[in-house]
Amino acid sequence: MEKGLKDPEIADLFFREDPEKLFTDLREIGHGSFGAVYFARDVRTAEVVAIKKMSYSGKQSNEKWQDIIKEVKFLQRIQHPNSIEYKGCYLREHTAWLVMEYCLGSASDLLEVHKKPLQEIEIAAVTHGALQGLAYLHSHNMIHRDIKAGNILLTEPGRVKLADFGSASIASPANSFVGTPYWMAPEVILAMDEGQYDGKVDIWSLGITCIELAERKPPLFNMNAMSALYHIAQNESPTLQSSEWTDYFRNFVDSCLQKIPQDRPHSEDLLQHAFVLRERPESVLIDLILRTKDAVRELDNLQYRKMKKILFQEAHNGPTTETQEGDEEPEHGPGHTGTVSSVGSNQSIPSMSISASSQSSSVNSIPDAADDKSDHDLEKDHTVMSNSSVIHLKPVTRQMQEHEQDSELREQMSGYKKHSKRKSLVELNENQSTPKKEKQEWLLKQKENFQHYQAEEEANLLRRQRQYLELECRRFKRRILIAKHNVEQDLVREELNKRQTQKDLEHAMLLRHHESMQELEVRQLGTIQKMRTELIRLQHQTELTNQLEYNKRRERELRRKHVMEVRQQPKSLKSKELQIKKQFQDTCKIQTRQYKALRNHLLETTPKSDHKAVLKRLKEEQTRKLAILAEQYDHSINDMLSTQALRLDEAQEAECQVLKMQLQQELELLNAYQSKIKMQTDAQHDRERKELEQRVSLRRALLEQKIEEEMVTLQNERSERIRSLLEKQAREIEAFDSESMRLGFSNMVLSITYRDLGL
Ligand code: ADP
Ligand code: MG
């Protein structure tokens, strides 16, 4: 059946009985964004209670339902003499009936009745009570978030009660944009994105409430809500205007209104403040309530008298004109006072929250039942109000105006027929008590009076209708302006988001480009280096091969030369042999000649007989000497041959040795040279790689820096755009509203809720 009631945890939040059967005498005593609050009596105990009816049907029903659950859960949790006592909740026809202890009215009602500020001790008493309630909430980590005079109630015995937990937060810190503009703390206004705040926001609102009680309106109340928000967030804190207040009070308000939450005292601290601790009569609030009741009674009587007068005149008007009198609202009698407009402008300002749905129902959603009150009901209202012990601190007029402002048009169109019953009654009374002639005269005079009055009223009616139309036009224009603003905001947001996405894409592309470039460069460098290494390897190989070939050739040449040498040796040997032979032959010849000479000499000197022996001896001698020579010859030949061969061997060996060493050296040189080249190349490659790395990381850093800078610029541009748009819009609205004010439309300014104040 009902939403979420299958969940036992949710179902347990509500009583099952039918509230229609449990509560009687319902009379509306206040209303806000969600619907209306009623005075009622519990039939079982005759106890007087207040019932806040909250509908969760129609648009955004789910959000409304969630809001109800939130408020009920919150009320169930809290219990403190300074917060409203919760008695339970019922469901009927998509409406939650939230039953609470009954209060006489709010601090805002007091201001409304008296039309002047409260006295300082009264403010101190109200503030003291509210502060105790807040200290309780804050000590349990809860935040009220909508502290204002309209949400601080008073009971018959003069107790102060915090009420309206529809905006409260069950946890602290919190960050949603919740509250009523003029009372909002700067950090709530600035918390739109990710900022956080805590119970100190209630302290700020309490400070504003103090000013409200002292000056009847919160600061900046003449501005439109949007401009006020800017003002609060950007400018100095407000202070008490008049110098009549004590320093205690001023100091109290100033501490509440410290812009920086850390500088603002906690509720506990403020409970020690002289402003609230200072002695004051215990009966302050009871006296205030009595005073207010008297004033209400006075106002209601006045109203009743006015109504009577109108009824009386109506009674003499006859049935033909009855239908013309379309708009006989009680306040439009000849004795019309300033009440209407001032009460009208005090229409409860809806508190707002981004998440809450209730705000969007705005002031225009007053239950039909309220509009259809019959004549009988009105009279009953009046008597109950004045005679019973229950006097709500709002005059009847105001309560009626609260519906009538919205049903104005309907009433104007359909005619004010509610008093017909009473009219005949009055007529009858008058008729019975007057003598005939006087009666005639009196009737004539009355008729004249009446005709005059009728003409006047007709003119009034026309004027009012025209005014109403103009007002509607103005409202419509204003709505259009706000719709235009919303569209502008949407467009700007969309454009900015698109640009952001574009930039993000561009950056992603740049990074990707950078990465592929880096990859390419690394790959290219790798290829180049590999090629270079390969080239060097090939070159070295070739060099080595060449060198080895060269070596071989040199060795081969040497060997050939040696072979040649060896081959040439025998020739030289033979010529040397021949030389020796010739020397030998020469020696032999010389010897032969010397012997011949010697024989001749001996033959001459020796006797002939001895010749024979001498010749023989000589012959022998000669032969022996020749043999020695021959032997010598052989020996020297052999000698020569052997030394010659030895010498050749040795020389060749040495030559081979030298060549080998030389070639070895050359090879070693080549090797050294090549490995040096290799090392140099390796080093070069290392260097190149490092350079590339550096270049790439520098480029990356530059790119990242550029991206970062662009993001910052974009972000700045974004906030600048949004800020200037919002400022422009605020200016437009302000201009529109001040024009409206100039043209005499005053109380429609806040009737349209901003859909969304954050971008
Ligand atoms: P909203 O969330 O719309 O501000 P509230 O809870 O503040 O609703 O109720 C709106 C008005 O109804 C209050 O300003 C007050 O005048 C009246 N009201 C609320 N609760 C009570 C109550 N318990 N007793 C008497 N009047 C009440
Ligand atoms: Mg309220």
DSSP 649-673: HHHHHHHHHHHHHHHHHHHHHHHHH
Q: Which amino acid is at 635?
A: H
Average pLDDT over residues 311-324: 52
Average pLDDT over residues 9-15: 90
Q: Which atom of ligand 1 is nearest to the CA of 161?
A: 23
The architecture (CATH level 2) of 104-314 comes to Orthogonal Bundle (1.10)
Q: For residue 148, which ligand has an atom nearest its CA?
A: 2
Q: What is the mean pLDDT of the chain?
A: 81
pLDDT of residue 230: 83
Indicate the pLDDT class of residue 313, thresholds 50, 70 and 90. low
pLDDT digits (tens, 9 = 90+) for 653-678: 888 899 899 989 998 999 999 999 99
Burial category of 179 from C-beta neighbours within 10 Å (exposed 0-12, middle 13-18, buried 19 and up): buried
Nearest CA to ligand 1 atom 12: 30
pLDDT of residue 277: 95
pLDDT digits (tens, 9 = 90+) for 144-197: 999 999 999 999 999 999 999 999 998 888 888 889 999 999 988 887 555 689
With a cut of 60, say whether residue 384 has pLDDT above it: no
Phi-psi region of 348 (alpha: psi -120 to 50; beta: other; left: phi over 0): beta
Distance separating alpha carbons of residues 409 and 402, to the nearest angstrom: 14
6 annotated to bind ligand: no
Contacts of 633 (CB under 8 A, 6+ apart): 580, 581, 584
Tokens of 422: 């009473």
Task: State the number of CA atoms in the 13 A half-sphere of 747 facing the CB.
Answer: 17
Give the CA radius of gyration of the chain. Answer: 62
Average pLDDT over residues 714-724: 90
With a cut of 50, say whether residue 364 has pLDDT above it: no
Indicate the pLDDT class of residue 5, thresholds 50, 70 and 90. confident
When mean pLDDT is compared across 26-35, 198-207, 304-313, 421-430, the lowest value belongs to 421-430
CA distances from 398 to 30, 99, 302, 345, 746 (A): 10, 23, 13, 11, 17
With a cut of 90, say whether residue 694 has pLDDT above it: yes
Contacts of 679 (CB under 8 A, 6+ apart): none
Q: Among 23, 38, 52, 401, which residue has the most ligand 1 atoms within 8 Å of its CB, making it the best to mutate?
A: 52
List the beta strands (DSSP E) in 108-196: 152-154, 160-162, 178-179
- Give yes or no for residue 71 CB within 6 A of ligand 1: no
With a cut of 60, say whether residue 515 has pLDDT above it: yes
pLDDT digits (tens, 9 = 90+) for 539-575: 999 999 999 999 899 889 988 988 888 888 778 778 8
Helix ranges (H only) for 155-223 are: 186-190, 200-215
- Give yes or no for residue 150 CB within 6 A of ligand 1: yes
Distance separating alpha carbons of residues 595 and 592, to the nearest angstrom: 5
Distance separating alpha carbons of residues 399 and 371, to the nearest angstrom: 11
Distance separating alpha carbons of residues 109 and 106, to the nearest angstrom: 5
When mean pLDDT is compared across 218-232, 423-437, 515-529, the lowest value belongs to 423-437
Higher-scoring residue by pLDDT: 226, 262: 262
Higher-scoring residue by pLDDT: 389, 482: 482
Distance separating alpha carbons of residues 93 and 20, to the nearest angstrom: 11
- Give yes or no for residue 163 CB within 6 A of ligand 1: yes
**Which of 119-133, 468-482, 743-757 holds the top average pLDDT?**
119-133
With a cut of 60, say whether residue 50 has pLDDT above it: yes
Q: Which atom of ligand 1 is nearest to the CA of 164?
A: 6
- Give yes or no for residue 164 CB within 6 A of ligand 1: yes
Indicate the pLDDT class of residue 620, thresholds 50, 70 and 90. confident
> Phi then psi for 245, rounded to 5 degrees?
-80, 155
Q: How many CB atoms lie within 10 A of CB 479?
A: 12
CA of 475 to the centre of ligand 2 (A): 24
Average pLDDT over residues 326-352: 40
Indicate the pLDDT class of residue 268, thresholds 50, 70 and 90. very high
Average pLDDT over residues 747-751: 45
With a cut of 90, say whether residue 512 has pLDDT above it: yes
CA of 79 to the centre of ligand 1 (A): 18
Place of tokens 């290219």: 524
With a cut of 80, say whether residue 755 has pLDDT above it: no
- Give yes or no for residue 29 CB within 6 A of ligand 1: yes
Nearest CA to ligand 1 atom 14: 150
- Contact between 759 and 726 (Cβ < 8 Å): yes
Higher-scoring residue by pLDDT: 46, 330: 46
Q: How many CB atoms lie within 10 A of CB 198?
A: 18
Indicate the pLDDT class of residue 51, thresholds 50, 70 and 90. very high
- Give yes or no for residue 84 CB within 6 A of ligand 1: yes
The architecture (CATH level 2) of 1-102 comes to 2-Layer Sandwich (3.30)
When mean pLDDT is compared across 69-78, 259-268, 642-651, the lowest value belongs to 642-651
Percent of the chain with pLDDT over 90: 45
Q: Which atom of ligand 1 is nearest to the CA of 166?
A: 2
- Contact between 72 and 99 (Cβ < 8 Å): no
Task: State the number of CA atoms in the 13 A half-sphere of 516 facing the CB.
Answer: 5
pLDDT of residue 327: 39
The catalytically annotated residue of 67, 146, 327, 406 is 146
pLDDT of residue 619: 84
Indicate the pLDDT class of residue 366, thresholds 50, 70 and 90. very low
Distance separating alpha carbons of residues 696 and 692, to the nearest angstrom: 6
CA of 434 to the centre of ligand 2 (A): 53
Tokens of 90: 């019922």
**Which of 504-513, 619-628, 637-646 holds the top average pLDDT?**
504-513
Indicate the pLDDT class of residue 368, thresholds 50, 70 and 90. very low
pLDDT of residue 348: 55
Average pLDDT over residues 707-714: 92
CA of 148 to the centre of ligand 1 (A): 12
With a cut of 80, say whether residue 425 has pLDDT above it: no
Indicate the pLDDT class of residue 757, thresholds 50, 70 and 90. very low
Residue 328's closest CA among 300, 307, 304?
307
Q: Where in the chain are the domains?
A: 1-102, 104-314, 548-607+614-715
Q: Among 37, 84, 112, 160, which residue has the most ligand 1 atoms within 8 Å of its CB, making it the best to mutate?
A: 37
- Contact between 714 and 503 (Cβ < 8 Å): yes
With a cut of 90, say whether residue 523 has pLDDT above it: yes
Q: How many CB atoms lie within 10 A of CB 383?
A: 11
With a cut of 70, say whether residue 323 has pLDDT above it: no
The yes-or-no answer on residue 146 being catalytic is yes
With a cut of 60, say whether residue 329 has pLDDT above it: no
- Contact between 254 and 204 (Cβ < 8 Å): no
